[in-house]
Amino acid sequence: MIQKVRVITKVGPDLKGIDILSDIHKMLGLKKVDKVISIKVYRLEGATEKQAKILAKQLLCEQINQSYSINKPFSHLPGSHLGGVAIDSAGVTIEIAYKPGVMNPEAASVLKAAKDLGIKLLAADSSYEYAFFGSITKEEIIKIVEKLKLYNPLIEHIVIEESKTLLIKGQPGKTNIIHIRDCSDKQLMEFSKDKLFLNLEEMKTIQKYFQKIKRDPTDVELETLAQTWSEHSGHKTFKADLIVDGKQKAPLIYRIKTEALKHKKNIVSAFEDNSGVMDFYDGWAINGKGETHNAPSSIEPYGGAMTGSGGVFRDVLATGQGAKNVISTDVFCFAPPEYPSKNLPAGTLPPLYLLKRVVAGVRDYGNRVGIPTSNGSVHFHQDFRARPTVLVGAYGIIPKKYAQKGKPELGDLIVVIGGKTGRDGIHGATFSSGEMTERTINVNSTAVQIGNAIEEKRVFDAILEARDNDLIRALQDCGGGGFSSSIGEIGESLGVTINLEKAPLKYPGLSPWEMWVSESQERMIIVLQKKNLRRFLRICEKYNVEASVIGKFDGSKKLNIYLEREKVCDLSMEFLHKGLPKKVLVARQETGNRKKSDTPPIPKNEGEWIHVLEKVLSHGNVCSKESIVRLYDHTVQGTSALPPFTGIKQDSPNDAVVIRPILDKPYGMIVSHGLNPVLNNIDPYWGSLWAATEAVANYAAVGGDYQEASLIENFIWPFPDEQSLWSLDQSVDAVVDFMKVLKIPVISGKDSLSSTYRGSAGVIKIPPVLCISVFGKLADVTKTISLDFKKVGSTIVLLGKQDLEMGGSTYFDVNGVLGDQVPKVDLKLLPEVLSTLHKAIKLRSILAAHDISEGGLITAIFEMCLGGRMGAELHLEGVKAHLRGNFLFNETAGCFIVEVKNEKMAEKLFRNLPYKIIGKTTSQFSISANGLFEADIKKLEKKWKKPMEEIFS
Amino acid sequence: MEKTNGGDIFLKPKICVLKSDGTNCDEELYYAFEKVGGDPELVHINEVRNKNVRFKDFQVIAFPGGFSYGDDIASGKILAVEMVSFLKEELENFRAKNGVIIGICNGFQTLIRTGLLPFGSLGKMDATLAPNDSGHFECRWVRLKKEKVNKCKFLQGDENIGWFAVNHGEGKLFAGNETIKTIEQSGLVVFRYVDENNRPTQKYPNNPNGSINAIAGICDPKGLVFGMMPHPEKFVDLTQYPNWRREKIEKPHGLFIFENIVKFARVAK
């Protein structure tokens, strides 16, 4: 019997209800709904009604401001609501719950607390009921609920029928033999489609292998091969030999690694572990990693963002013998929130919904696991309508003596800890390697799930304590590809025997192949020496972490998987890891002349100047993201030394984050990033250099020494057809050249090459994105600076060499022009500019600095003025009249606005470099550009803050 | 511990920083206590439940911030139920010995839901910390005023105004009118959110959650249990504060709270 407890807010605002009502009024313009009330619903299985009452009183309902009702709707609304109108008579109610099988993290908490109160439940669930009031029918309400996307049908449903039990039953499926030896090519591909995502050559390689060993594969074996050989796990494009415009070139990854390993000074490990590790101070190392989670986020943004975050955090955790996460970062690209829904390609979700739900997912996961989310950016471009980019970065700290994984030895145990295995996330790795089509949203629903941040936090706590007790030999995160990926990788050298029945399941009924490739979250694989097992299990128990030995290293050089006594997989590690045929790929530059682009008209008067400035400041790529950032906890762990926002009202955005990861030491860790999705479409080589320079400039603007930094690359590219592969090749060349110039390495990277949409609307190539992240060390955090202007009467300096090209700039964009030439960074000058700035900050000769990026020079000055609540008087005498727009809005990366005491100081610091004295700070709260305009900063501030405030406040 | 005629003196009072699943501000709290000369220890609640660790061996129990058990059902609720169900006697004995109990953010939410705050009635809730009026989590810095007149044994002394970090989604102190009146009249209010003119405020974002009477921190009538939503442990070093580069800070604003607790706990009552 299920007892149903409803809980309602009786005093004080019902925030959920008010929110929905305001959306109905504002977004749908429907005035006939007068009120919405939210009701929390708990279902308790295995309790008597009396027990349900005890739980309602002591656990589920706080009677100070809430009321409860057991097994029936509220007959009257208590307290201040609608003056006591009965809900069931006046309102239409709709209940939204997770679908059976989707993990609801709250259910476990209800079970635990009930047990603590002496009541043992068989199962529990929680959901929300909404009561709508007004002259409106149930059918209309359902339409409203769907229009507002109050639920995502992939994971949630409107409850229509009460189910008799919350328990999920099922008979385990069998392992099937797949008869592929006699298949035709067509049959092979039919089998691969929507499931294995392998191409014909790969399918034929598998077919030949099994013909050779004279048997057909099991489904477990095929799934294992498909997962290991997927683009997501195998990075086939990056490993392929290339022919670019007829000339042979080395594989992309080879070029990156070769150059990176020339700059070894700080490298502890690069491209070998789950994240890149570099040296820190006093026997510590720091590590970092960035990963996209675009595919799941495109169909279930909340769960996608959560599991994306959780996965990267586990990558940082699964570095060496276990690292502690200390920073997370988030970079998103969406179509503009106001993009009309009617123009969206079939099978995609509206960008506003994606933006809100992705932010909510990052908030609810990152805040709960207790990692400060302190750096990131949001970009908008209409071509992201077909698939957003959601890139999460994570950074950690680890004692250097634990920074390398131990080598597993014969007899070592394989232990799975953390979450249980369910059907969720099946085919995530293969799915994300596929392109997005109209079918994606329907066929691949099991690829999404909701994360459980607290499970992950428990796992963090247990692993770090086990590490400090020298118990861990090696560890792997169960991310894309699940056990198949983590155990397949870790077992490559020795071979393993796995007993699948030992893995704890969320519910019965999984087939062996499903257990093997399931991507259920919050699971880790730990390699232990047998003698350490007892102590390890005791630590797990202390932290309420479930741990099960599921296999061991057996020396067979094979992947042996059993379910009870049945052998379901018998694959040679050699074939699994080396059998994938190396690709040879052709890349070619699209020929045909690009149209020469127009240039926008120069503003004619003060009004026009201010108008264009306001348009730039309110552009999605430039406007304030504060209302998003304040939803994320960036002070947890107490390490902050430079937060996302500083200044008198703490509302001006810094270029990078600085933390002190060891609380009683002054050592700083700095993290920044750079990307520009527009420029790569015009010029992938110089666009990528812009992104890399922007990342390092952000790092230098706060006082970082780039020579003590490492880089992380993330390539998020359309499917590598000849043209896209050509631009990818250009981008990789840019990254390699950048390493050469700065003499610092990329130490971690990831590619995601599926940003192409194919549907009835045609083919949409999502803009190619290179995101470069920078992280590094600094001996003393007090030698860093913030961007806010500090003093009235200071000298404002432009440091660095502008290239007055404006292609891809925000200024061009608000004028409806793309441009054909992007600003080129002067790579010869760059190292000197960066190190001069660093040295000057170290000497405390600089009051404030800000890197110039989207929105250009004038935007940088605006943000600095805002922070100091003061103004700026700019002198443009040296700039030709027709170039003043280009000058003020120029976005050349590697240029800085710097505040120094006086002109003499500027001369002293920068005399060997290109620099310009462009003005002074003033006590007037306005920006004046002599003769052109004087803009009231208060008005600009409003324009700059409004776009995101409207969405998030 | 040294014996004196006046009672026990603890040169380095022992502080139990109590963790549960989802606690995440434990390390900075540990650091704050260590910095002011306390002797903190990170203890998981399971260790207290299985009696490997006893509250009686500590002078202070500190509940850190975080999301205990995911803040499922209500923030701090599951942990509060666990405390009341299994550790009631431990806690009561600790209180009988005049031990100090503090809770920050999620710790405060837990103390409210055990009933220890505001009236020291373990197992009976008299007030709640409801969702912020803004409807969402808030991460920002706010100014607080410490009341000159209040019952908290270790937070006596002059009015004091400072900057504190808030990071929470459910921080609005809420109770019936009579309860609020009693809280006010008994001097249980220790901290309030204030505006630029140092006046208690209901205005967002200075008052980040809409808390009644701008209440940010309270104590129990004995003055030994104390809880607050903002995070003093996140401002015990200069560089933890966003504007340390532009403002003159004599002393990190959260520090005095820990100094006072440790000073008070040195002398057993």
Which residues, listed in sequence order, are joined to residue A915 by a DSSP beta bridge? A799
What is the count of residue pairs from A and B with beta carbons less than 8 Å apart? 178
Token look-up 């607050």 returns: B228
Does pLDDT of A878 surpass 60? yes
Tell me the C-alpha distance between A718 and A753, whole Å. Answer: 5
Cα–Cα distance for residue pair B145/B191, rounded to 1 Å: 5
By the 10 Å C-beta count (0-12 exposed, 13-18 middle, 19+ buried), B57 is classed as: exposed
Contacts of A827 (CB under 8 A, 6+ apart): A689, A737, A738, A741
Which residue among A126, A457, A953 places its CB closest to the CB of B21?
A457
- Indicate the pairing of strand A413-418 with strand A547-553: antiparallel
For residue B80 the two structure tokens come to: 């509060």
Q: pLDDT tens digits for A639-671?
A: 999 999 999 999 999 999 999 999 999 999 999
Residue B47 appears among annotated catalytic residues: no
Burial (CB < 10 A; 0-12, 13-18, 19+), residue B156, is middle
Owning domain of residue B224: 2-266
Judge contact between A236 and A584, C-beta under 8 A: no
pLDDT tens-digit series, residues A748-786: 999 999 888 888 778 899 999 999 999 999 999 999 999
**CA–CA min distance B83, chain A (Å):** 9
Surface of B (46-85) touching A: CB under 8 A = 46-47, 65-67, 69-74, 77-78, 81-82, 85
Mean pLDDT confidence for A368-393? 96
Inspect the interface and report whether the beta carbons of B78 and A633 lie closer than 8 Å: no
Tokens of A25: 């009024």
* Apex A300 CA angle, A294 and A301, nearest 5: 60
Q: Does B133 contact chain A (CB < 8 Å)?
A: yes
Q: Between chains, do A630 and B139 touch, taking CB under 8 Å as contact?
A: yes
Beta carbons of B44 and A542 less than 8 Å apart: yes
Q: Is the pLDDT of residue B1 over 80?
A: no
pLDDT band, residue B8 (cuts 50/70/90): confident
CATH number at residue B255: 3.40.50.880
The closest alpha carbon to B78, from A89, A107, A731, A527, belongs to: A107
Q: Mean pLDDT lowest for which of A9-13, A60-64, A87-91? A: A87-91
pLDDT bin (cut points 50, 70, 90) of residue A594 is low
Q: How far apart are CA A643 and CA A657, in angstroms?
A: 6
pLDDT at position A682 is 94
Q: Is A909 left (phi over 0), alpha (psi -120 to 50) or beta?
A: alpha
Q: Return all residues near A835 (Cβ < 8 A) that are at least 6 apart.
A: A705, A706, A707
Catalytic residue, candidates B152, B231, B253, B259: B231
> Which residue intervals of A826-936 are DSSP H helices?
830-842, 856-868, 884-889, 903-910
Closest residue to A650, CB basis, from B24, B141, B240: B141
Residues 6+ apart with CB under 8 A from A603: A609, A611, A612, A885, A932
Question: Is A850 considered catalytic here?
Answer: no
Contact B139 A633 (CB under 8 A): yes
Which of B25, B233, B253, B259 is labelled catalytic? Answer: B233
Q: What is the mean pLDDT of chain A?
A: 93
Between A81-90, A207-216, A381-390, A864-873, the lowest mean confidence (pLDDT) is in A81-90
SS3 of A664, please? coil
Of A325, A329, A330, A326, residue with least CA distance to A301: A330
Tell me how far apart the alpha carbons of residues B135 and B39 are, in angstroms, rounded to a whole number: 38
Supply A475's token pair. Answer: 């560890």
Look at residue B116 and give its three-state secondary structure. coil
Helices (H), chain B: 26-35, 45-49, 77-86, 88-96, 106-114, 177-185, 255-266
Domain-wise residue ranges, chain A: 2-158, 174-246+405-580
- pLDDT tens digits, one per residue of B259-268: 999 999 998 6
pLDDT at A205 over 90: yes
Residues 178-197 of chain B with CB under 8 A from chain A are none
Mean pLDDT of all residues belonging to chain B: 95
A293 given a catalytic annotation: yes
- Answer for the pair B166, B204: CB distance below 8 angstroms, yes or no: no
B245 contact residues in A (CB cutoff 8 A):
646, 785-786, 790
Give the containing element (helix H, strand E) for A920.
strand A915-922
The third-level CATH classification (topology) of the domain covering A174-246+405-580 is Phosphoribosyl-aminoimidazole Synthetase; Chain A, domain 2 (3.90.650)
Q: Find the range with the poorest average confidence among A172-176, A465-469, A800-804.
A: A172-176
| Mean pLDDT on A69-74 | 91
pLDDT tens for A421-454 read 988 767 655 555 555 554 444 444 455 678 899 9
| Catalytic, out of A293, A381, A577, A673 | A293
**Exactly one of B16, B25, B28, B105 is catalytic; which is it?**
B105
ipTM of the complex: 0.96
The tokens describing B268, both together, are 């057993």
- Half-sphere exposure of residue B61: CA atoms within 13 angstroms, side-chain side: 31
Q: What is the mean pLDDT of residues B213-241?
A: 98
Residues 6+ apart with CB under 8 A from B10: B1, B59, B265, B266, B267, B268
Which residue in B85, B137, B239, B247 has the most chain A C-beta atoms within 10 A of its own C-beta, making it the best mutation to test that interface? B239
The Cβ of residue A920 has, within 10 Å, a number of other Cβ atoms equal to: 18
> What's the CA gap between A146 and A574, in Å, rounded?
50
CA distance A753 to A425: 20
**A648–B44 CB contact, under 8 Å:** no
Output A456 or A163, whichever has higher pLDDT: A456
Residue A599 pLDDT grade (very low, low, confident, very high; cuts 50, 70, 90): confident
Q: Looking at beta carbons, which residues of chain B come within 8 Å of A650? A: 140-141, 242-243
**Chain B residue closest in CA terms to A115:** B82
Work out the average pLDDT over B162-189.
97
Residue A782 and residue B239: Cβ atoms within 8 Å? yes
Distance CA A190, CA A178 (A): 13
> B115 — contact with chain A (CB < 8 Å)?
no
Kindly report, residue by residue over B56-85, the tens digit of the pLDDT.
999 999 999 999 999 999 999 999 999 999
- What is the per-residue DSSP string for A91-112? EEEEEEEEPTTS--HHHHHHHH
pLDDT over threshold 90, residue A289: yes
Question: Which residue out of B18, B19, B21, B77 would a mutagenesis test of the A interface target, given it has the greatest number of A Cβ atoms within 10 Å?
Answer: B21
pLDDT confidence of residue A422: 86
Please give the pLDDT value at position A432: 52
* Half-sphere exposure of residue A815: CA atoms within 13 angstroms, side-chain side: 25
Q: A712 to chain B, minimum CA–CA distance in Å?
A: 27
Residue A26 banded pLDDT, cuts 50, 70, 90 = confident
Q: How far is B82 from chain A (nearest CA, A)?
A: 6
Nearest chain B residue to A42 by CA distance is B73
List the single residue in B with minimal CA-CA distance to A789.
B246
Cβ distance of B133 and A13 shorter than 8 Å: yes
| List of residues 6+ apart from A459 with CB closer than 8 A | A314, A317, A417, A418, A522, A524, A543, A545
Q: What total number of domains does chain B contain? A: 1
